[in-house]
Amino acid sequence: MFASFLWALFLLPAAGRGEAAAPGSLAITGVTIIDVTGGATRRSMTVVIRDGRIAEIAPGGRDAAGKGVRVVEGRGKFLIPGLWDMHVHLSWSTASALPALVANGVTGVRDMGSRLNQIDEWRTLISAGILSGPRILRVGPILNGQKFNAYQMVPGNPDETRGVARALKEADVDFLKVHRRLPRESYFALIDEARRLGLSVVGHIPMTVTPEEASDAGQATLEHTETLFEGTFSAGLKDEDLPDAIRRFRSEAAERLFARFVRNHTAVTPTLVPYRSYVESLDPASPPDPHRRYVAQSLRKEAERTSKPASETELAQLKRTFEELREVVREEIRSGVTVLAGTDLAGARVPGFPLHDELALLVEAGATPLQALAAATRVPARVVQKANELGTIEVGKLADLVLLDANPLEDIRNTRRISAVVLAGRFLDRRDLDALLEEAERQAGRN
């Protein structure tokens, strides 16, 4: 089986690494630039884009644009860096998710477990300008001790796990992803081999590893707030006891653990929105989500077929657990832990729109609008080691931008008020974005 896996890796199409054919020059004039590093907001600025990069930033309006440049009026609008969703599963969402992501200002994603050959094919088509979609970084298969779906593989004993890490390095993955059933010895072998290979390990905390051990070992990002409370934490606990146990953790151990995360530069992706969405899906009082039309039809039907009603007691327990998880995120933010915005897009979850809900939830959990915005722009660029290319609005950086009709620093919900998106220098106005949503809906109806 392992030999077959290795052979399959070398049959994969090459990932698209180059940029698409460069678009023409563009100037957004008179716009207000939001500095996600915390600097002063710059008003009435002109941003000139050439060959897919930010070429100039200067005060003034139309006169600062220069000749032979397409001019877009930005007066009264606000420019932010393109948004990142740091936890998606694109193969599990189908290609219909790609245009919906772009239409929501998501210009970059970190795919956390998909079919590597499929993702690389999409990357190539996106790079060539044939397919509309965000920039994609990816882990390939999820490494787990048991295989629960098509996007996971069992790497084996420690020596075999090291071999899998080397094979994935040859396949040029961007990270290695671990899940909760990976055996302890294999996990630490993977961490060690990844360090030798220059790869970061991301994902869940395995059931037999503590959060302290994962952070000390050098796991780069911990995915989902609830991963802190699985395995070693919840062993012997009944579901109904979990909220109170999390509350005790917050009062007794959170400060020490999160100080450790800060010291070790361990980042977290809370993914509050999928947990809340799951709770709402079980609550008959919750209104239907109008954006479900952008979910592939086959995935909607599968979710309906497998969904089970929750009792009032179960629903109340889930709501309490969610409230406690949100308070854990509040403690992380207060402690200075690096926080990333991600939605765990997969299956019947809506693409694109929930990232804005996640930003709002981060603010509910105590983040300032600037901190929430940074969690989807500047911080992801730094964590994926692309801060020299993306994440802020600076001369020389790649032109992935979102033009908003209202100021997100006044109300984070204004990130939903998208006037236009610039993706790799290509300007997509509101009509273009609506067309992408129509295409996403059409594809979802066929998939």
Q: What is the CATH number of the domain that holds 294?
A: 3.20.20.140
Residue 238 lies in domain: 82-380
Evaluate if residue 13 carries a pLDDT over 50: no
pLDDT digits (tens, 9 = 90+) for 72-98: 999 999 999 999 999 999 999 999 999
pLDDT tens digits, one per residue of 120-167: 999 999 999 999 999 999 999 999 999 999 999 999 999 999 999 999
Can you tell me the mean pLDDT for 329-340?
A: 98
Assess if residue 431 is contained within a domain.
Answer: no
Query: How many domains would you assign to the chain?
Result: 1
**Section 206-210 average pLDDT:** 96
Q: What's the pLDDT at 3?
A: 39
pLDDT level of residue 112 (50, 70, 90 thresholds): very high
Does residue 195 sit within a domain? yes
Mean pLDDT score across all residues of the chain: 93
Question: Do the domain assignments include residue 336?
Answer: yes
Look at residue 360 and tell me whether its pLDDT is greater than 50: yes
pLDDT for 309: 86
Residue 12 pLDDT grade (very low, low, confident, very high; cuts 50, 70, 90): very low
Whether residue 445 is contained in a domain is answered as no
Least confident among 57-66, 225-234, 350-359: 57-66
**Angle of helix 2-9 versus helix 158-170 axis, rounded to 10:** 10
103 found inside a domain: yes
Q: Is residue 47 part of a domain?
A: no
Give the pLDDT band (50/70/90) at residue 8. very low
Residue 388 inside a domain? The answer is no
Over pLDDT 70: what percentage of the chain? 93
Residue 266 has pLDDT above 80, yes or no: yes
The pLDDT score that the predictor gives to residue 413 is: 98
CA dist 161 → 148, 165, 172, 177, 280 (Å): 18, 6, 17, 12, 38
Residue where the block lists tokens 């991600």: 342
Question: For residue 262, is it within any domain?
Answer: yes
- The answer to whether residue 21 scores a pLDDT higher than 80 is no
For 342-352, write each residue's pLDDT tens digit: 999 999 999 99
Sequence-distant (6+) residues with CB within 8 A of 176 are 139, 143, 165, 168, 190, 194, 199, 200, 201, 202
| Cβ atoms of 406 and 346 closer than 8 Å | no
Distance, CA of 310 to CA of 260 (rounded, Å): 37
